Structure 1
Amino acid sequence: MHTSWLTAEQYAALSTQVQGAFISPLPAFESLLISGPDNRKYLQGQTTCDLDQLNDDNFLHGAHCDAKGKMWSQFYLVSHAQQLISIAFRDELNASGAQWKKFGVFSKVSFEAGQQHFAVFGLGGENVATLVSQLGFKLPQRGELARHNGALLLALAIDHFMLLMPVAEAQQLMQQKLPFAAPNVWLARHIQHGFSYLEQGLIGEFVPQMLNLQALNAISFTKGCYIGQETVARLKYRGGNKRAAYILTADTDEVPKAGTDIEIQLGENWRRSGQVVNAANIHNQLWLIAVLPNDITPADSLRLSSDSAPALRIVPLPYSLN
């Protein structure tokens, strides 16, 4: 953990023993500030989302791909004070930031790391609307953005939020008597909503549809050209994508790393079938989002490839892949 707004003592005090609504500091998520008169035009040609749809009252979920359609990152994009702010897991934000800066020299656009300016939190849990109101926000609906005193609240789902807050206000917030929870609490909810992010070992491994981004309104199939569009569009209109992201759970104390194999039973043998994308463990209940063949069914026997090889159960996605 390296952050200017959360102390080691505060981080160590965070608990997974929470009931009801909670707020989790997310020091592994950061922001990138994108400025300049060409910032929208530039990102329009770089990402899967349609910048023409971004306004002051919403945010965009999108992906940044290489020329072969494999993802450098997926992110959330907001407009703030004539800047664009991309919010993502640190590994993928660094990967995309490096690529954007490399090719941005040909446009009137500039980039600045946002960790000295903004902190990222996650909100969720039962009756989270009360906590949202306590923090001074009007409750946004899914896909909407609420603003309050320079802070931005993104409604990723009905009861699942991401909060971007100026560092000084974040430091003050950490002094308040609020239901703070460990990041894993929010990350487990993130997985349960069918969301994911890219850790270092998986950057450049997946096309957006493998992480269900078409079902999460993170791909525009009507905008103009962008890097990787040919592959992404071909998978939609001609088929060919044979993999998707699934939610899995197991009773175990393990927390597998991103990229850990998942195996399927075929007769008396086990064969590699997919891999872990993200994992969170709350009180020996493991939650995974994993890429698997898109014809997998709950009747299939799955296990984690590890010493204890816990059995994995498929949990229905909260959205349709069709």
Structure 2
Amino acid sequence: MSTWSTNLTFAPLALSSQDPLPALALSKLDDWGMVTLIGPDSKAYLQGQLTCDVVSLEAGKSTLAAHCDAKGKMRTVMRLFHIENGYGYLQRQSVMATQIPELKKYAVFSKTDITPSDNIVLGLSGEQAQAAIDAYFTEGDDVRHNDIATAVKVDAQRWFIISSPEHAETIAQHFAAEATLSDSTLWDLYDINAALPRVDSATELEFIPQAMNLQAVNGISFKKGCYTGQETVARAKYRGINKRAMYIVTGEAAQCPQAGDALERSVGENWRKGGSVITGFQFTDNQAMALVVLPNDLDEDTQFRFEAQPEAIWEKQSLPYTLDDDA
């Protein structure tokens, strides 16, 4: 086990729901991992496995994508990008043991080597993150490399930073000089605010990509050729069979909502299961936020609650993007 972070303390931040986020924060993302595909057939192989258009992915860009089973249910949501001689992708550690063998299943017929990486994953966030990355990496694209690290842009205020265990402390110490240190829960909060999809073991093979809004964050190409699960994904778009979407909900909670937790919804004077939590964050003032997959035809005044705390009413919030699907 790597001990690179022994000299640094990455702990949960004590944030109330009214507190501003740190101008610059460095998070240790132990619950994220990297996989590489190296070899001349890697592009073609991934093109036949993922929802995104791998062929059109530019060298300096990244994209969200899903890897589905034959029924169109997601094994993972990943962030895919080019690395030297191939591709890398970042996904949740909790699905590594099940997703990688499925991705490898037909690779015996292709010249591509699919390997889980031991690289350390960090997250740099905040309004000063872009300037800090610009100062450390001389390249100007959304995927940047130097001799010891790779940085992958998520949005205007966030970057993944990936390095080998032997260089991780050097990189962390560099950014720690100006940044607040945090564990991965701060990254979860950013993902909730951005309504970015993810799949953990508790939600693996539960949802099709559109149920987590993947089409709204450019994670699905409806113009590429065949890939595993494409029939279901296309039918959800063109025949309107998808009845779910992912939403931000907020409310009072005694504990942080966890992936797979059930959220109940109001139906008249009764309550029924409403949806499944994708990820959650709890503030110090007992307020909390979560991403939840819910029916996409609910009334605007629908209320929500968790069975363990029925007196606390939750509400749906606005998404930072539109769910209109015209791609």
Give the TM-score, by structure 2 length: 0.89
Q: What are the equivalent positions in structure 2 for 1:45-124 lying under 5 Å apart?
A: 45-115=48-118, 118-124=119-125
Q: 2 CA distance for matches of 1:199 and 1:8?
A: 27
Once the 2 structures are TM-superposed, how far is the Cα of residue 5 of structure 1 from its aligned partner?
A: 5.4
Whether the aligned pair in 1 keeps the contact of 2:251 and 2:288 (CA below 8 Å) is yes
- Comparing 144-153 with 202-211, greater Cα deviation is found at 144-153
Paired AA for residue 319 in structure 1? Y
- CA distance 1:152–1:174, shift in 2 (3 Å): closer
- Comparing 85-94 with 15-24, greater Cα deviation is found at 15-24
Q: What are the equivalent positions in structure 2 for 1:188-267 lying under 5 Å apart?
A: 188-267=189-268
**Partner of 1:153 in structure 2?**
151
Matched, 1:275 2:273: no
Once the 2 structures are TM-superposed, how far is the Cα of residue 9 of structure 1 from its aligned partner?
A: 6.6
Q: 2 CA distance for matches of 1:301 and 1:295?
A: 13
- CA distance 1:83–1:167, shift in 2 (3 Å): farther
Once the 2 structures are TM-superposed, how far is the Cα of residue 294 of structure 1 from its aligned partner?
A: 0.6
Paired AA for residue 23 in structure 1? L
- CA distance 1:211–1:60, shift in 2 (3 Å): same
Q: 2 CA distance for matches of 1:11 and 1:98?
A: 34
Once the 2 structures are TM-superposed, how far is the Cα of residue 26 of structure 1 from its aligned partner?
A: 0.2
Out of 23, 41, 51, the residue aligned to residue 20 of structure 1 is 23
**Partner of 2:292 in structure 1?**
290
Out of 313, 316, 319, the residue aligned to residue 317 of structure 1 is 319
Q: 1 CA distance for matches of 2:63 and 2:269?
A: 46
Matched, 1:38 2:41: yes
Paired AA for residue 220 in structure 2? I
Structure 2, unpaired ranges of 5+? 16-20
The alignment's C-alpha RMSD in Å is: 2.1
Q: Secondary structure at the match of 1:77?
A: strand
Whether the aligned pair in 1 keeps the contact of 2:120 and 2:163 (CA below 8 Å) is yes
Give the TM-score, by structure 1 length: 0.90
- Comparing 173-182 with 274-283, greater Cα deviation is found at 173-182
Matched, 1:184 2:185: yes
Whether the aligned pair in 2 keeps the contact of 1:5 and 1:119 (CA below 8 Å) is no
C-alpha deviations, 1:126-184, integer Å up to 9, x for none? Answer: 333233234335665xxx32333342222222223222223322121233424222211
Identical pairs, percent: 31
Q: What are the equivalent positions in structure 2 for 1:132-147 lying under 5 Å apart?
A: 132-136=133-137, 144-147=142-145
4+ aligned runs moved over 4 Å, structure 1: 11-14, 137-140
Whether the aligned pair in 2 keeps the contact of 1:69 and 1:232 (CA below 8 Å) is yes
Whether the aligned pair in 2 keeps the contact of 1:132 and 1:138 (CA below 8 Å) is no
Once the 2 structures are TM-superposed, how far is the Cα of residue 231 of structure 1 from its aligned partner?
A: 0.4
